[in-house]
């Protein structure tokens, strides 16, 4: 079963439960696949809701039996570094900071960090430190929001810790 077929199987169940499928991916080996399902809804998702969705999706997968043998199902919220997959995702988070990995035809991958300016008709506009960047959504390999609070907290935490050099100097 292809990823698209799997998505077509699972998304209707999610929608009837009131959830959006942010991202669906199958990773791991063919003998031991891991089905990762990122869900969201207005106001966010609780751990209990993830468990409820997991039970419902497990029943759908058990009935359809898309994987020979065993598989692992992981259901979670998209988290603060939410993946951006569709044009609607980019539109919804216009104005937010994002990390976007792009590969233009015949070129190496390129990573852009910037604020999402707009996304329409398959074209994404980012404001980066180097200026405006325009890319086609078909060239985006991976994109996610950047959790600014987390980055700031980590920077403060690092600033509070003495360097290893300072620790050694104090010991002598």
The structural domain count of the chain equals 2
In a domain, 172, yes or no: no
Q: What is the pLDDT of residues 5-42, one digit of tens each?
A: 999 999 999 999 999 999 999 999 888 899 999 999 98
Residue 84 banded pLDDT, cuts 50, 70, 90 = very high
Picking from 38, 56, 76, the residue at the C-terminal end of a domain is 76
Give residue 172's pLDDT: 55
In a domain, 30, yes or no: yes
pLDDT above 80: residue 169? no
Q: What is the pLDDT of residues 122-137, one digit of tens each?
A: 999 999 999 999 999 9
pLDDT above 60: residue 164? no
In a domain, 68, yes or no: yes
Question: Mean pLDDT across the stretch 143-149?
Answer: 81
Its pTM surpasses 0.85 = no
Token pair in block for residue 82: 């939410």
- Both 44 and 93 in one domain: the answer is no
pLDDT above 80: residue 92? yes
Question: Mean pLDDT across the stretch 39-52?
Answer: 92
Cβ 113 vs Cβ 147: under 8 Å: no
- Both 10 and 57 in one domain: the answer is yes
Q: What is the pLDDT of residues 93-106, one digit of tens each?
A: 999 999 999 998 88
Strand partners, 98: 114, 145
- Both 71 and 91 in one domain: the answer is no
- Both 105 and 126 in one domain: the answer is yes
CATH at residue 116: 2.30.30.520
- Both 93 and 70 in one domain: the answer is no
- Both 10 and 70 in one domain: the answer is yes
Question: Mean pLDDT across the stretch 73-83?
Answer: 90
- Both 102 and 60 in one domain: the answer is no
Give residue 120's pLDDT: 96
Give residue 1's pLDDT: 79
Give residue 91's pLDDT: 94
How far CA 20 is from CA of 31, 41, 53, in Å, comes to 28, 6, 11
Picking from 76, 100, 133, the residue at the C-terminal end of a domain is 76
Domain of 67? 3-76
- Both 65 and 101 in one domain: the answer is no
d(CA 13, CA 159): 47
- Average pLDDT over all residues of the chain: 87
Give residue 146's pLDDT: 92
- Both 53 and 27 in one domain: the answer is yes
The contacts of residue 53 (CB under 8 Å, 6+ apart) are 14, 17, 19, 37, 39, 75
């Amino acid at each position: 079963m292809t990823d698209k077929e799997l998505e077509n199987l699972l998304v209707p169940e999610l929608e009837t439960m009131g959830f959006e499928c942010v991202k669906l991916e199958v990773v791991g080996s063919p003998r031991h696949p891991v089905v990762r399902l990122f869900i969201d809804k207005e106001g966010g998702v609780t751990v209990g809701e993830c468990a409820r969705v997991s039970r419902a999706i497990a029943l759908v997968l058990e009935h359809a039996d898309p994987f020979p043998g065993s598989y692992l199902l992981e259901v979670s919220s998209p988290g603060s570094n939410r993946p951006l997959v569709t044009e609607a995702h980019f539109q919804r988070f216009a104005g937010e900071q994002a990390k976007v990995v792009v590969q233009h035809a015949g070129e190496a991958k390129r990573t852009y960090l910037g604020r999402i300016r707009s996304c329409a008709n398959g074209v994404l506009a980012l404001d980066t430190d180097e200026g405006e960047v325009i890319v086609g959504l078909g060239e985006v390999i991976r994109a996610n929001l950047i959790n600014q609070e987390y980055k700031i907290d980590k920077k403060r935490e690092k600033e509070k810790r003495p360097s290893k050099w300072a620790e050694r100097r104090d010991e002598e």
